[in-house]
């Protein structure tokens, strides 16, 4: 069954009320649809920089013991091979929930900023439309960060490859923007929920606490990759792909599931 936001079966819809969605809302009791089946990468396709779509170089994305892993044990050097694992369908109005943790050591040659750094890309371009040597899909990145053992390092931040967004009535063009989350050192599992309403509100929750809110995701006309996606001058993003990132530090996902919302 194709589980896109449009045409999804009524049994999978969650009613949206004027009060909105909050951490204790009964919307959480709706039908969560697993995007990761716990067994294999069915429904997912890798796109790694420098390789053709579908080429899972170094077995970067794999499933072991019921966990979706991003691994670099077959890399001698990371060498800028940024990767993304794309789910097959596009979505518009939904809540995406992932449970993740960082493990192990960063791949040799990984950039310093990518230590304990990964992400979930939403409202993304299709994998098929990416250039072979493109680093990141044009998208909104929900940046996942792990603590370095000291100091503050928030997670569920927003980065914007080829995109901008509006927050507090102002267009935000800064590439990365910190959430208000606490820092998670070590290898504990963290739950992040991303509540998306097309071109409207987007909210990030970490372990049930709201840590970021913004709206009107849109393409950046100054970005060459984004310009290719603008049709008839319309820059606004209303739907897109979901992908999991590979940025040189091993990360594991034990849950990736979605709750489709009524538009």
Compute the distance between CA of residue 16 and CA of residue 198 in angstroms, rounded to an integer.
Answer: 13
As a whole number, the mean pLDDT across the chain is: 91
**Predicted pLDDT at 146:** 98
User: Which residues contact residue 217 at a Cβ distance below 8 angstroms, ignoring those fewer than 6 apart?
Assistant: 123, 140, 163, 164, 165, 199, 202, 236, 237
Per-residue confidence (pLDDT) for residue 130, from 0 to 100: 98
Q: What is the pLDDT of residue 13?
A: 38
Percent of the chain whose predicted confidence (pLDDT) is above 70: 89
> Which of 120, 240, 241, 262 is CA-nearest to residue 192?
120
Full-model pTM: 0.89
Helix (H, G, I), strand (E, B) or coil at 125: coil
pLDDT for the residue 54: 98
d(CA 252, CA 86): 16
Does the pLDDT of residue 168 top 80, yes or no? yes
Contact present, 68 and 252 (Cβ < 8 Å): yes
Mean pLDDT of 182-205: 97
pLDDT tier, 263 (very low <50, low <70, confident <90, very high otherwise):
confident
What pLDDT is recorded for position 121?
98
Q: How much is the average pLDDT of 120-140?
A: 98
Ordered structural domains, the chain, with CATH: 45-260 (2.60.120.560)
């Amino acid at each position: 069954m194709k589980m896109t936001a449009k045409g999804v079966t009524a049994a999978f819809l969650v009613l949206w009320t004027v009060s909105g969605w909050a951490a204790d809302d009964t919307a959480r009791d709706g039908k969560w649809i697993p995007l990761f089946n716990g067994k294999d990468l069915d429904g997912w396709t890798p796109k790694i920089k420098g390789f053709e779509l579908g080429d899972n170089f170094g077995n970067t994305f794999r499933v072991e013991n019921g966990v979706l892993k991003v691994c670099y044990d077959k890399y001698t050097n990371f060498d800028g091979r940024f990767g993304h694992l794309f789910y097959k369908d596009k979505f518009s109005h939904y809540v995406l929930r992932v449970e993740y943790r960082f493990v192990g050591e960063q791949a040799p040659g990984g950039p310093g900023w990518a230590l304990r750094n990964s992400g979930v890309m939403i409202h993304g371009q299709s994998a098929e439309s990416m250039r072979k040597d493109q680093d990141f899909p044009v998208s909104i990145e929900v940046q996942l960060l792990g603590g370095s053992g000291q100091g503050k390092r928030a997670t569920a931040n927003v980065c914007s490859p080829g995109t901008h967004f509006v927050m507090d009535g102002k267009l935000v063009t800064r590439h990365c923007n910190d959430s208000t989350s606490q820092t998670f050192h070590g290898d504990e599992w963290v739950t992040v929920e991303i509540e998306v309403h097309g071109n409207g509100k987007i909210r990030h929750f970490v372990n049930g606490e709201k840590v970021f809110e913004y709206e009107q995701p849109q393409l950046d006309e100054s970005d060459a990759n984004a310009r290719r996606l603008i049709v008839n001058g319309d820059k606004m993003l209303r739907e897109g792909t979901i992908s999991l990132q590979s940025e040189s530090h091993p990360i594991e996902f034990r849950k990736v599931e979605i709750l489709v919302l009524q538009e």
